[in-house]
Structure 1
Amino acid sequence: MTRTFLLFAVAAVLGLALLFGTVLVLPLLLYPSLADAELTGVANAETRIQLRQAQGQLQNNARSTLLQVFAGLVVVVGGAATWRQVRVNRDGQFADRFTRGVEQLGSDNVDVRVGGIYALERIAHNSPEDRRTIQVVISSYVRNRSPWQAGLADGPEHPTPVVDENRPWLRIHSPDIQAAMIILARRPRSRDAPRLYLSRVDLRGLQLERNQLTDVHMRYANLARAWLPFTRLDDSDLKCTDLRRANLESAGLVGVSLCGAHLQGANLRGADLRDADLRGADMRAQHLAEAILTGARADETTVWPEDFGPDRRREHGISSAE
């Protein structure tokens, strides 16, 4: 601390010395005082005095201009220093708020966890440079708090034998997970936004409407009875995902991978499945004929409703590897 102060003091003294030296010396170099030899041709004494005064006035004007310039520089430097300090303080506040928000995610109180989730969303809104990290933290929170370990030796049967119609909606059963998914679904879209990894998560009864979960990696997830009308899921990977009884009315599923997915009883009225990969999927959904299926790909393992034969599939523009 003492050494820093001494260095600052020395720098300040040198700066002041340079300032005063410049103000005193530079005007004399620009407008040198008139010597007697230079005024030998001026016979009138009063005129010689006026010329010396005029030269002195030029020097004073130069000093005044230099002082104004230095004063402007001081204001600029001071403003820059103030802005930097404000930025440092702001970053420090964001760091503290981020730390508190993450700590809240570990609380045993679900209300505190929900508060922490929304606090992180506020930070992401005000601090774009932290947005990517916060999205990763929240998606990791969903995976850890609501796992669906399908495919593991001790994991659940996937899909479950039946869809539990009596299970509460996610906002009631797990309000923190519902809040996290709402935040992820309304995150600002950008080219460098990270892809969300939500594979093997339990999102039964999730409720989202007119939101965006585009380009999401959600393999082997459980979205049975999810309420997702008008939600954009374009370019997402939903391989082997359980979408039974899900409401996907007018949902965006363009370019989605539904390989091996389960859509029995799902509402696909008006859903846009252009260029979707339906190989191995169970497409025994409701209102399938009212979905947009142009360019969708299927194979011999795709399961169709009884009234959705080859001719009808061709009418809908579905290509087949059969």
Structure 2
Amino acid sequence: MTAGSAQPRKYRVLLGVVTGLGIAALAAVIIALFWRGPEWVDGINPDHLGKNDGPKATVVAGLRTALATCLVGIAALVGLYFTRATYQQNRAKDQEQFALAQKQFELTQEAQQTSRTESQEQFALAQKQFELAQETQRQNRISDEERSELAREGQITERYIKAVTLLADEDEGALTARLAGIYALERIMGDSQKDHETIVKLLAAFIRRHAKITSEYGEPVRDDVQAALTVLAQRPDRPESFVIDLSHTDLRDAELATARLEQTNFAHSKLNGASLTGAHLSKANFWKAQLKEAVADGADFRSAHLLETEMWTLDGTGADFRAAYMRQADLRGANLQDAKFDGADLTEARFIAEDGTRIAIVDTEQLLVATVSQGTLLHPSIKDDPVMAAHIRECDKDFFGPNP
């Protein structure tokens, strides 16, 4: 309790004492008047009233009644005063308790706010430290990755140089070294996408150098050339911005089954007797190439360039020649059973020898979906078929225009 609040309380206590004394004195006066008031006021002595003093008794009774009423009123006022004093005291106490409770609440809130602020500051500091640790870890990881990449690049470069060195060994007895170089390049190509195109071009150049056409009747493909072909045929499937150039190469009896060599340039190359079963050769260039006696069952030649390609006795069972450019292609004696020719251009292609031998295995239904001209050499049973004859006239009309 403060000094400011103690001073009014002192005055209230003093006022209460004075008021109490005043009320007590007033009560004493009323009591005295109650007993001796008639005698003092009217000269009537209540103790000596007889039967014949009725009017005086009435006066005495009225005066006493009035005094009694005053006394009761004073008592009521006193009770009201003390009730009010008690109420004010209790109210003041309640207000003090409320003020104390409010003060404690404010102190508690302030303490909580302080604690919350400290917690937030600690959390922000911890978060900042965590972010710094993460950034440091990220920088360290980047540095580690850069060092690892540099080390990896250095290793790949070293491996590449060794592989090229082995590949360049052209001694007669260095076949094993060249094979080791080829397979080393295959591993590097699988590990490094960045070196993919370089290695593909290098292997293609190796094939062109070591598989040159030297005579009409050459030897089967060399082991190291076959190894390079196999690596190219099974290379990782990645986007390439160039065409593999295997033109003017002698690839007789090469093993290229299921090879993935789309768009490859085989112009003027010899693939006689090669195994092309299921090979992927769409959009490949076979201009004036030789595929005599090659096995190409199920091979994909869609949209391939087969102009003047020699395919004598080719096994093209189930092969796909859709949209292929096959003008003047030589298909004498080829097995073309179940092959697809939808949209293929077979203008002046040969399916039979001029002497009637080497008849290609093909039927009318297969050729009705292709462009067949009057100059296309077909077996008479096919060419004289009314449906095929009408188809040939329609194709020639589209190419040469209607007859005048």
Question: Do the structures match in fold with TM over 0.5?
Answer: yes
- State whether structure 2 residue 351 is matched by structure 1 residue 304: yes
TM-fit CA distance, 1:79: 1.6
Q: TM-score, normalised by structure 1?
A: 0.71
1:243 & 1:192 partners in 2: Cα distance? 26
TM-fit CA distance, 1:192: 3.1
What do the CA deviations read for 1:296-318 (whole angstroms, capped 9, x no partner)?
21223x22214869x95575233
One-letter amino acid of the counterpart of residue 303, structure 1: R
* Contact preservation (8 Å) 2:340, 2:366: no
One-letter amino acid of the counterpart of residue 115, structure 1: A
Which residue in 2 is equivalent to 1:231? 279
1:200 & 1:182 partners in 2: Cα distance? 18
TM-fit CA distance, 1:63: 5.4
Q: How many residue pairs were aligned? A: 259
Which residue in 1 is equivalent to 2:139? 77
Which residue in 1 is equivalent to 2:372? 320
One-letter amino acid of the counterpart of residue 316, structure 1: L
Cα distance 1:251–1:67, how it changes in 2: closer, same or farther (>3 A)?
closer
Which residue in 2 is equivalent to 1:151? none
Q: Relative to structure 2, which stretch is displaced further, 58-67 or 245-254?
A: 58-67
Q: Which has the higher helix share?
A: 2
- State whether structure 2 residue 193 is matched by structure 1 residue 142: no
Which residue in 2 is equivalent to 1:97? 159
- State whether structure 2 residue 323 is matched by structure 1 residue 269: no
What do the CA deviations read for 1:220-247 (whole angstroms, capped 9, x no partner)?
0011111111112111000000111111
1:315 & 1:71 partners in 2: Cα distance? 71
One-letter amino acid of the counterpart of residue 320, structure 1: V
- Secondary structure at the aligned position of 1:180 is classed as helix
Determine which structure has more spread, i.e. the larger CA radius of gyration: 2
Pick aligned residue for 1:280 from 299, 323, 328:
328
- Secondary structure at the aligned position of 1:200 is classed as coil
Cα distance 1:279–1:316, how it changes in 2: closer, same or farther (>3 A)?
same
One-letter amino acid of the counterpart of residue 78, structure 1: N
1:57 & 1:314 partners in 2: Cα distance? 86
Percent of aligned positions that are identical: 24
What do the CA deviations read for 1:3-49 (whole angstroms, capped 9, x no partner)?
xxxxxxxxxxxxxxxxxxxxxxxxxxxxxxxxxxxxxxx9xxxx9xx
TM-fit CA distance, 1:200: 0.2
Cα distance 1:87–1:321, how it changes in 2: closer, same or farther (>3 A)?
same
One-letter amino acid of the counterpart of residue 332, structure 2: R
Cα distance 1:60–1:296, how it changes in 2: closer, same or farther (>3 A)?
closer
Q: TM-score, normalised by structure 2?
A: 0.57
2:247 & 2:124 partners in 1: Cα distance? 72
Unpaired stretches in structure 2, ≥5 consecutive residues: 1-102, 375-404
Q: Relative to structure 2, which stretch is displaced further, 123-132 or 65-74?
A: 65-74
For 1:56-135, list aligned pairs within 5 A.
Answer: 66-107=128-169, 108=171, 109-135=174-200
TM-fit CA distance, 1:189: 2.9
Which residue in 2 is equivalent to 1:206? 254
Unpaired stretches in structure 1, ≥5 consecutive residues: 1-41, 149-154
One-letter amino acid of the counterpart of residue 319, structure 1: T
Which residue in 2 is equivalent to 1:250? 298
Cα distance 1:72–1:294, how it changes in 2: closer, same or farther (>3 A)?
closer
1:190 & 1:61 partners in 2: Cα distance? 49
Q: Tell which has more relative contact order, 1 or 2 (C-alpha 8 A, sep 6+).
A: 1
Cα distance 1:69–1:321, how it changes in 2: closer, same or farther (>3 A)?
same
Q: Relative to structure 2, which stretch is displaced further, 265-274 or 138-147?
A: 265-274
